[in-house]
Amino acid sequence: MNTSPYVSIVIPLYNEAESLPELEAWIRRVLEQQGWPYEIIFVDDGSTDGSWRVIEALAQKNPHIRAFRFQRNYGKSAALNVGFRHARGQYIITMDADLQDSPDEIVPLVNMMEKEGYDLISGWKKERHDPLSKTLPSKLFNWVTRKVTGIPLHDFNCGLKIYRSQVAKALDIHGEMHRYLPAMAKWAGFRRIGEKVVKHYPRKYGVTKFGLERFINGFLDLMSMVFVQRFRRRPMHFFGTIGLLLFVAAMGIVAYLVGMKVYYSWVLQVHVPREVVDMPLFYIALTTAIIGFQLFLAGFLGELIASHSSRDDYRVMAAIDRSDPA
């Protein structure tokens, strides 16, 4: 393909062999009607159901398909990371492979992006075709995320999103941070974040790959991300502050014990049989001082490695990539 694509459709997938032919045909029909140069990037996250064979067959018929296959299951964040890294379009659109996201939304998303100048637009599945066991925890999750990040989105975890290329390329996605891509974009300096109500369809094939544990992991990831974003470049501000407070508290306890000893012995002329070092409170102070010193030291070590940023090494075992070498 010599022409650079106008849009790149990045589709992470895991065991979605049944839905892939229908999804590819739907995307192709929508984009060819527009006459837009495009590419579809499938990232097979270690599927075991023959999804890669389906992708190979589709790629034989559609030269706009590029695909990457992981040696094992790394997770959605890893798949998106690889997809963003290889996408060449002016706009990068992500969607799930289970046919619950509608490719008909691609054109309205692109038009909204061009007209209103957003950096990122997130889909909002206002009417969801999911059981209460998914929708209720999702509402709580989104409410907490809105409060923590300050981004007024209703559906952070919607797979259907559109990014300007420079935004997607700037995101360092790791772990399970795919749930917080709008927040990551905001903290990377891209603050024009919009939202669009999108259609949501019932799952047609297979079963969901996510359980209730994703919400627990989601909250843990949120705390981790907030910490990393705020203190990644200045870990001493976190560890050093806590360490210093603990150290000061320990010194205060010791000063209190010594002061009480002096007061009873010299002022009140009362014999105190126990020495300061024999009192339990002294050992609490000693332990507090040690912990404070260790946290302070952790802050120094954090400052030494703060300039380093590492990416996970995902092992791609196969690829279909017709792009010209850059």
DSSP letter at 323 equals P
Counting the structural domains of the chain, the total is 2
Name the band, by pLDDT with cuts 50, 70 and 90, for residue 61.
very high
pLDDT at 263: 78
* In-domain check, residue 204: yes
State which residues form the domain around 151: 7-232+311-320
Asked whether the predicted pLDDT for residue 326 surpasses 50, the reply is: no
Name the band, by pLDDT with cuts 50, 70 and 90, for residue 202.
confident
pLDDT in tens, 191-200: 999 999 998 8
Asked whether the predicted pLDDT for residue 49 surpasses 70, the reply is: yes
CA distance 127 to 198: 9
Asked whether the predicted pLDDT for residue 311 surpasses 70, the reply is: no
Q: Which two structure tokens, joined as six digits, stand for 308?
A: 């380093």
* In-domain check, residue 164: yes
Residues 267-278 as b/e (b if ≥16 CB within 10 A, e otherwise) read: eeeeeeeeebee
More confident residue, 87 or 268: 87
Place of tokens 């399970």: 176
The whole-number average pLDDT for the span 194-217 is 75
Rounded to the nearest integer, the mean pLDDT of the chain is 84
Q: DSSP of 37-73, one letter per residue?
A: -EEEEEEE-S-SSSHHHHHHHHHHH-TTEEEEEESS-
Q: Are residues 207 and 244 in the same domain?
A: no
Q: What percentage of the chain reaches a pLDDT higher than 90? A: 46
Asked whether the predicted pLDDT for residue 206 surpasses 80, the reply is: no
Q: Are residues 163 and 215 in the same domain?
A: yes
Contact status, residue 44 vs residue 70, Cβ threshold 8 Å: yes
Contact status, residue 122 vs residue 197, Cβ threshold 8 Å: no
CA distance 238 to 244: 10
How many CB atoms neighbour CB 139 within 10 A? 13
CATH assignment at residue 79: 3.90.550.10
Q: Are residues 244 and 127 in the same domain?
A: no
* In-domain check, residue 326: no
Q: Are residues 245 and 225 in the same domain?
A: no
* In-domain check, residue 68: yes
* In-domain check, residue 131: yes
Asked whether the predicted pLDDT for residue 261 surpasses 90, the reply is: no
pLDDT at 43: 97
pTM for the whole structure: 0.74
Asked whether the predicted pLDDT for residue 307 surpasses 60, the reply is: no
pLDDT in tens, 219-230: 777 777 777 667
CB-neighbour burial class of residue 105 (10 A; exposed 0-12, middle 13-18, buried 19+) = buried
More confident residue, 285 or 233: 285
Q: Are residues 119 and 249 in the same domain?
A: no
For 107, half-sphere exposure in the C-beta direction (CA atoms, 13 angstrom radius) is: 12
pLDDT at 177: 80
Residues 31-64 as b/e (b if ≥16 CB within 10 A, e otherwise) read: beeeebbbbbbbbbbbbeeebbebbeebbeeeeb
